[in-house]
Amino acid sequence: MKLTNPFHGQYYTMEAATVPFAHLNVVHEPFHWVTTAFSYMLAGIGLFMLLEMFAESEYDTTPLSVLAVLTGLPVVFDIVGYQSDLLLGMIYSPLGVAIFAIGVLFVHQDRFMAVQLTDKVDEATVFLDDDERIRDFNRRAATLVPELEGSIGQPVESVLPEVGQEESIEQRILERERDGTTNYYLASTTSFELGATRIGKLLMLTDVTETEKRRRELERQNDQLHDFAEALTHELRNTLTIIEGHVSLAGDAITNNQIGTANDSLQAVSGSASRMTGIVNDLSILAKHGQTAQETEHVDVADAARTARTQVDAGDLSVTVDGDLDVDADSARVRALFKSADEFFDRNGADAVEIQVSDDEIRMSGNGTSPIPADLEEYFEYGSAVPTSEAGVALPNVRALARVHGWTTRIDPEYTDGICVVIDTASHSDR
């Protein structure tokens, strides 16, 4: 329009003026005002989009919002200049654009870059330089990792050791406690470039709690199946070896007319078969209740322990329960846990078991034998004869049934009057 103005004269005209000195005065015509209005409208839309992006961003965009407001402020000067003699009648808008450009390129470059890169991203993000030093982070990241406060300029591994253990950050899972529950986040980085120059990295923490829990559940079930097969193979091999040996002895005894010896050998065979039946029953409990509890209910732990004693054949074993504890759990699995515990104590030679329940803990103490292996974890291994072969797989089942609820199980090494099994219901093991 300016180039063609000499032909139509609708953009501007020149008028001679003598006040305050001789000069040519530019008079703007309709095309100028239409073009100016259209330009300001587009600029206003752009500023509105910027302010909207700043408002929705998880970063602290107060400095950037101030810069955006300053960009539009010179429009006021334009109006004042054309309506009064306080300012020269000229366009002041380029001053605002210059202020904004200087601000985002030299003062708040990192923040502006981070906001642009994470637009429409709802995850926790940390803006890093090429040396993996923290340049900025959003509010969600600060909430998730409070250690980020005051960490600008520090290496990321000093704040998040989990993601800084290698020369370069790779995808890895972070575990964080929030509101009493364990959440898992996938830490992944993306490099970004400006032209041919790489200017930084973006570390994103994506919530993968449900996916990670399912993965860990599958891993736990695979381990459980491996333990199941190992225990079954071990017990079958041992039992068949014992039965084969005693049957051979009984045959030789009958041949030699040693009826008493043959009878003793056959009784040993019967005992081994009965023991194998018990092992199969224990493993059937694992097969039935070994999966993670999907539906839970309010369970009175003390009541479940008392009920379990009435449902298991444990001879004259005396079980006393002291204390109260309510948990969200699967009632059938909790009862199966106590039944396995009662069977273990009975087979371990105990005649009395004391169960103490308190806040977030269950302690089951029996006065049976207490051989201490070098590694207390052997008590919970399928296929190991700890503390005795007669104990079978009852105690490993206790841990398995605790794990389906996310509880941890251990042996109290300081208990010397037998064996004390401790279940921590507040912890959340990898199910």
Using one digit for the tens of pLDDT, what is the confidence trace for 71-96?
A: 888 888 877 877 777 777 677 788 88
Select the highest-mean-pLDDT range: 34-38, 215-219, 259-263, 354-358: 354-358
**Alpha carbons 411 and 319: distance in angstroms, whole number:** 19
Q: Give the pLDDT of residue 359.
A: 83
* Residue 212, amino acid: E
Nearest residue to 334 via CA among 323, 325, 347: 325
Q: Give the pLDDT of residue 120.
A: 62
275 pLDDT exceeds 70? no
Domain ranges of the chain: 5-114, 121-207, 213-424
**Alpha carbons 10 and 30: distance in angstroms, whole number:** 6
Alpha carbon dihedral 399, 400, 405, 408, in 10-degree steps, equals 30
* Residue 345, amino acid: F
Q: Quick one: pLDDT band at residue 289, thresholds 50, 70, 90? A: low
Residue 6, preceding peptide bond in cis (omega within 30° of 0):
no
SS3 content of the chain, % helix, strand, coil (to 5): 50, 20, 30
Q: Give the pLDDT of residue 170.
A: 43
Nearest residue to 245 via CA among 268, 261, 263: 268
Q: Give the pLDDT of residue 370.
A: 73
| Topology of the domain covering 121-207 | Beta-Lactamase (3.30.450)
Alpha carbon 92 to its chain's center: 53
56 pLDDT exceeds 80? no
Q: Quick one: pLDDT band at residue 116, thresholds 50, 70, 90? A: low
Strands 352-358 and 318-322: parallel
What is the percent of the chain where pLDDT is above 70? 81
Nearest residue to 431 via CA among 283, 208, 212: 212
Q: Are 192 and 130 in contact (CB under 8 A)?
A: no
Q: Give the pLDDT of residue 27.
A: 74
**Alpha carbons 234 and 287: distance in angstroms, whole number:** 17
Q: Quick one: pLDDT band at residue 23, thresholds 50, 70, 90? A: confident
**Alpha carbons 74 and 219: distance in angstroms, whole number:** 64
Q: Give the pLDDT of residue 424.
A: 93
pLDDT tens-place string over residues 397-431: 899 889 888 899 999 988 888 899 999 988 655 54
φ, ψ dihedrals at 165, nearest 5°: -85, -10
Q: Give the pLDDT of residue 190.
A: 79
CB atoms under 10 Å from CB of 260, counted, come to 8
Class of domain 213-424: alpha beta
- What are the structure tokens assigned to 157, written together? 């591994």
Computed over every residue of the chain, the mean pLDDT equals: 79
Alpha carbon 13 to its chain's center: 70
pTM of the prediction?
Answer: 0.52
Lowest mean pLDDT among 24-38, 164-178, 190-204: 164-178
Q: Do domains 121-207 and 213-424 have the same CATH topology?
A: no
**Alpha carbons 256 and 249: distance in angstroms, whole number:** 11
Select the highest-mean-pLDDT range: 59-63, 117-121, 129-133, 184-188: 184-188
* Residue 358, amino acid: S
Kindly state the average pLDDT of the residues 353-368.
91
Residues contacting 211, CB < 8 A, separation 6+:
184
Q: Are 411 and 379 in contact (CB under 8 A)?
A: yes
Q: Quick one: pLDDT band at residue 21, thresholds 50, 70, 90? A: confident
The beta strand positions in 53-133, using DSSP E, are 124-128
Kindly state the average pLDDT of the residues 233-242.
76
pLDDT tens-place string over residues 276-285: 776 676 666 6
124 pLDDT exceeds 90? no
Q: Are 285 and 397 in contact (CB under 8 A)?
A: yes
Buried (b) or exposed (e) across 165-176, using 16+ Cβ within 10 A? eeeebeeeebee
Alpha carbon 163 to its chain's center: 14
